[in-house]
């Protein structure tokens, strides 16, 4: 039987011409007993967008047929972009009239119809392969005999028509969930039926419920999964303990956030007789409990990752596993996979070992507690934990050495503030503060990076299939634009086409502590590609690492669990034929792609709930004036992020009454036609809160007196101070 990989290679070959199903079967020599399975394979590849079926029933590679297959990213104004599945293909712009009834998130086939100067492509959607959403969350607007569901997601430009009998008794203004029964066609809106009424807009907890439904996040586990989990014994089997290295006498600890309950990792450290460090990273052995193709495994695969909101978590694994038998709770025996690494005082790795183990964590430490001991040297805590202080000091010293070594090799360290939402007992927003990042975070970050790199390089050296965490080189065009912009600021960045991350890290160090630091960090981050999972090792550009994986969080990330399984396969001693290895790699690539998608869904949901909380926080602040930074510039206005609150809003160009402003894309600026005032990305500015729209996740600002736009020829300190 022809495999998926073989069929794709055949169709993508330069000599291939589109063939019918009958011709494919004949050319590839598919026997009668294999034809049904082969037809199913071809149809699945069409459904996934890997190949395209023409109107004449012939099959070909989309890239060679002037077609693009990808996911549609919608815009509130009705147009969108098709983000291609194929690497290296630019996004395809789709006008509103050429959307073909597609929604944001749909997998579509689009025909390229125009190639503009500068490489921008424009096209038309000709086929919808998979619908990205089947339900819609929104506000119900009641009319006589019917109603509309106005979507929460601003990227959906359609209201959903609902007949009154299908409204489930929803009242005007309530938040509902509607199932789409007919998708939009030409000028007709989608039709749906209300399947759930979430409540009024001010119902406690409704923000989380909206995001959960909007992203179709699974909250409850299936009965089969819960039944399997309940059958897992809490006591460790004596026979299993005899087959593992017993590290229960070692001084191991966990360091996590105050609210954490799923403890994936524990760490230990020791100074050897030769003066070297021996770092121990001990990871929960989830693969021992979760068997492949079990109900727990299948549901974990579908979820892909845990999702974290300010007031709750949606775990990948049932609580019996995530919070109990797998969690490395203090003073309890736990099964682990340990990575021991010997480092010189300069941070050079000279030896490592990876094996199954059993540990007993001595203490559950928090980031705050470790900071108070190591940085603040709190006398009471130092005395209470004097039995642990030497180990913590050694961890601090090694982490600093590893960090400095990583930065020297070119690993990018973006210093951008992250907001933390502080909730009151009722779940309301009490404050928004900058999330802390200090020595305790660095200890865990560096140790996990070291373990992940060690496992990745080990699997690569064995040449055995696994899942890697890859970060591809930046898009050459975006990096060239970034290079041009910083050149105007007085900095150079040579060789964008073949740039090494060390050059970018050097730039970040040059601007550190200067007024333009945040601007440069933001623009460089925007020019980067998104890290993803892959069965092919392509290195990690952002970490300047030749080989990287995710191994250290199997309780909350499915790829980590799979890496554990692949690692264990290398210990069994089973031989694998080339065909079996190829099948294994193809299977892992499917897992990697699915996990990357689920990761993006989780990230979008986490960002959205934070955005809702931020907007709600601003509801009672109308008319107040704040200092901010211009965080984005577009033809229609300025995006401004408030200092200290990290809330972003828009100053629409129509409210900038003193002049007509023109957008200069190359300069990231709006420039006044008459006054020559210039508002540029990164400039400080004062704004007044004008309006807040929670359903649209939107805060509008007005320019306030005291904002200091500059005149042409006047270069502000934010752009001229280079120290």
The CATH number assigned to the domain with range 625-720 reads 2.40.50.140
For residue 71, the cross-strand partners are 83, 107
pLDDT average, residue stretch 713-720? 38
**Any idea which fold 66-130 has?**
OB fold (Dihydrolipoamide Acetyltransferase, E2P) (2.40.50)
At 719, is the pLDDT very low, low, confident or very high (cuts 50, 70, 90)? Answer: very low
Q: Which distant-in-sequence residues (6+ apart) come within 8 Å of 504 by Cβ?
A: 410, 412, 493, 524
Task: Provide the pLDDT for residue 717.
Answer: 36
- Please report, for the chain, the start and end positions of each structural domain, with discontinuous segments joined by +: 4-62, 66-130, 135-203, 223-449, 456-601, 625-720
| Phi, psi of 442, rounded to the nearest 5 degrees | -65, -40
Q: Give the pair of three-digit tokens for residue 347.
A: 């941070």
Q: Does position 706 have pLDDT exceeding 50, yes or no?
A: no
pLDDT in tens, 622-637: 999 999 999 889 999 9
At how many degrees (to 10) do helices 223-230 and 295-303 cross?
A: 120
Domains 66-130 and 625-720 share a fold: yes
In the 8-state DSSP scheme, what is residue 66?
Answer: T
CA 91 – CA 73 distance, rounded (Å): 10
Which of 578, 647, 568 lies closest to 610, judged by CA?
647
DSSP labels, 652-710: EGGG-TTS-EEEEGGGTEEEETTT-EEEETT-EEEEEEEEEETTTTEEEEEE-TT---E
Q: Does position 696 have pLDDT exceeding 60, yes or no?
A: yes
At 156, is the pLDDT very low, low, confident or very high (cuts 50, 70, 90)? Answer: confident
At 64, is the pLDDT very low, low, confident or very high (cuts 50, 70, 90)? Answer: confident
Q: Does position 158 have pLDDT exceeding 80, yes or no?
A: yes
At 77, is the pLDDT very low, low, confident or very high (cuts 50, 70, 90)? Answer: confident
Residue 192: CA count within 13 A, CB half-sphere: 28
At 643, is the pLDDT very low, low, confident or very high (cuts 50, 70, 90)? Answer: confident
* Percent helix, strand and coil across the chain, each to the nearest 5: 35, 30, 40
Q: Does position 721 have pLDDT exceeding 70, yes or no?
A: no
Task: Provide the pLDDT for residue 118.
Answer: 62
Task: Answer with the residue of higher pLDDT: 397 or 86.
Answer: 397
pLDDT in tens, 469-484: 999 988 877 888 888 8
- Residues 84, 92: contact at Cβ < 8 Å? yes
Q: Does position 92 have pLDDT exceeding 50, yes or no?
A: yes
231: three-class secondary structure by DSSP: coil
502: three-class secondary structure by DSSP: helix
Q: Does position 712 have pLDDT exceeding 60, yes or no?
A: no
Q: Give the pair of three-digit tokens for residue 613.
A: 């909380």
Structural domain 135-203, CATH architecture: Beta Barrel (2.40)
Q: Give the pair of three-digit tokens for residue 390.
A: 């030497």
Task: Provide the pLDDT for residue 420.
Answer: 86
pLDDT average, residue stretch 269-286? 98
Q: Does position 320 have pLDDT exceeding 90, yes or no?
A: yes
- Residues 75, 118: contact at Cβ < 8 Å? no
pLDDT in tens, 423-472: 887 777 888 888 888 999 999 999 999 999 999 999 999 999 999 999 99
Task: Provide the pLDDT for residue 707.
Answer: 42
CA 67 – CA 129 distance, rounded (Å): 13
At 39, is the pLDDT very low, low, confident or very high (cuts 50, 70, 90)? Answer: very high
Cβ burial, residue 102 (10 Å; 0-12/13-18/19+): buried
Q: Does position 181 have pLDDT exceeding 90, yes or no?
A: yes
- Residues 356, 246: contact at Cβ < 8 Å? no
**Any idea which fold 4-62 has?**
Arc Repressor Mutant, subunit A (1.10.10)
Can you give the C-alpha Rg of the chain in angstroms? 28
CA 149 – CA 140 distance, rounded (Å): 5
Go through 334-349 and write b for each residue having 16 or more CB atoms within 10 A of its CB, e for each that does not.
bbbbbbbbbbeeebeb
Task: Provide the pLDDT for residue 487.
Answer: 86
Whether the model clears a pTM of 0.85, i.e. scores above it, the answer is: yes
């Amino acid at each position: 039987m022809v495999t998926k990989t073989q069929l794709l290679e055949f169709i993508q070959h330069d000599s291939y011409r589109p063939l019918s199903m009958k011709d494919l079967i004949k050319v590839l020599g598919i026997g009668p007993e294999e034809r049904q399975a082969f037809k199913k394979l071809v149809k699945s590849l069409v459904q996934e967008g890997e190949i395209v079926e023409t109107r004449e029933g012939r099959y070909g590679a989309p890239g060679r047929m002037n077609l693009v297959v990808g996911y549609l990213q919608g815009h509130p104004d009705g147009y969108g972009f098709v983000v291609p599945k194929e690497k290296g293909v630019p996004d395809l712009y789709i006008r509103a009239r050429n959307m073909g009834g597609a929604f944001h998130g749909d997998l579509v086939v689009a025909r390229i119809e125009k190639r503009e100067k500068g490489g921008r492509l424009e096209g038309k959607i000709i086929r919808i392969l998979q619908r990205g959403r089947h339900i819609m969350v929104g506000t119900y607007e009641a009319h006589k005999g019917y109603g509309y569901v106005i979507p929460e997601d601003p990227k959906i430009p359609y209201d959903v028509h609902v007949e009154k009998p299908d409204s489930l008794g929803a009242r005007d203004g309530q938040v509902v969930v509607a199932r789409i029964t007919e998708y939009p066609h030409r000028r007709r809106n989608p039709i749906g039926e209300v399947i759930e009424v979430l409540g009024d807009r001010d119902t406690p907890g409704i923000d989380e419920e909206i995001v959960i439904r909007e992203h179709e996040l699974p909250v409850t586990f299936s009965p089969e999964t819960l039944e399997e989990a309940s059958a897992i014994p809490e006591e460790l089997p004596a026979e299993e303990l005899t087959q593992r290295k017993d590290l229960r006498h070692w001084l191991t600890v966990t360091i996590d956030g105050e609210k954490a309950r799923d403890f994936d990792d524990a760490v230990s450290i020791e100074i050897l007789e030769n003066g070297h460090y021996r770092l121990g990273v001990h990871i929960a052995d989830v693969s021992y409990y979760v068997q492949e193709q079990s109900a727990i495994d299948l549901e974990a695969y579908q979820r892909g990752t845990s999702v974290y909101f300010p007031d709750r978590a949606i775990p990948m694994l049932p609580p019996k596993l995530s919070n109990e038998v797998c969690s490395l709770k203090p003073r309890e025996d736990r099964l682990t996979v340990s990575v021991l690494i010997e480092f010189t005082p300069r941070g050079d790795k000279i030896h490592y070992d990876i094996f199954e183990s059993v540990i007993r964590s001595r203490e559950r430490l928090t980031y705050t507690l470790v900071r108070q001991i190591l940085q603040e040297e709190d006398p009471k805590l130092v005395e209470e934990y004097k039995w642990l202080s030497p180990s913590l000091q050694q961890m601090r010293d090694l982490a600093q050495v590893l960090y400095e070594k990583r930065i020297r090799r070119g690993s990018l360290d973006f210093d951008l503030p992250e907001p933390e939402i502080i909730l009151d007992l009722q779940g309301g927003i009490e404050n928004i503060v900058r999330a802390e990042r200090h020595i305790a975070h660095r200890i865990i970050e560096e140790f996990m990076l070291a373990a992940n790199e060690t496992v990745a390089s080990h699997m690569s050296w064995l040449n055995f299939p696994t899942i890697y965490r890859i970060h591809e080189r930046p898009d050459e065009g975006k990096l060239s634009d970034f290079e041009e912009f910083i050149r105007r600021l007085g900095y150079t960045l040579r060789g964008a086409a073949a740039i090494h991350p060390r050059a970018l890290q050097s730039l970040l160090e040059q601007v550190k502590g200067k007024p333009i630091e945040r601007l440069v960090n933001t623009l460089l981050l925007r020019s980067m590609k998104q890290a993803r999972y892959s069965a092919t090792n392509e290195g990690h550009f952002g970490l300047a690492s030749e080989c990287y994986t995710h191994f250290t969080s199997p309780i909350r990330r499915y790829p980590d669990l799979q890496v554990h399984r692949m690692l264990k396969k290398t210990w069994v001693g089973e031989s694998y034929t080339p065909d079996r290895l190829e099948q294994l790699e193809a299977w892992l690539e499917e897992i990697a792609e699915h996990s990357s998608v689920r990761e993006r869904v989780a990230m979008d949901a986490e960002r959205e709930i934070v955005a809702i909380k931020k907007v709600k926080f601003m509801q009672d602040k109308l008319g107040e004036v704040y200092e901010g930074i211009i965080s984005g510039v577009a033809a229609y206005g300025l995006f401004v992020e408030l200092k200290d609150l990290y809330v972003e809003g828009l100053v629409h160009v129509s409210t900038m009454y003193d002049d007509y402003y023109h957008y200069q894309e190359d300069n990231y600026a709006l420039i006044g036609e008459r006054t020559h005032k210039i508002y540029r990305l990164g400039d400080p500015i004062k704004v007044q809160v004008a309006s807040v729209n929670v359903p649209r996740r939107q805060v509008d600002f007005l320019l306030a007196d005291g904002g200091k736009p500059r005149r042409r020829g006047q270069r502000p300190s934010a752009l001229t101070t280079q120290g």
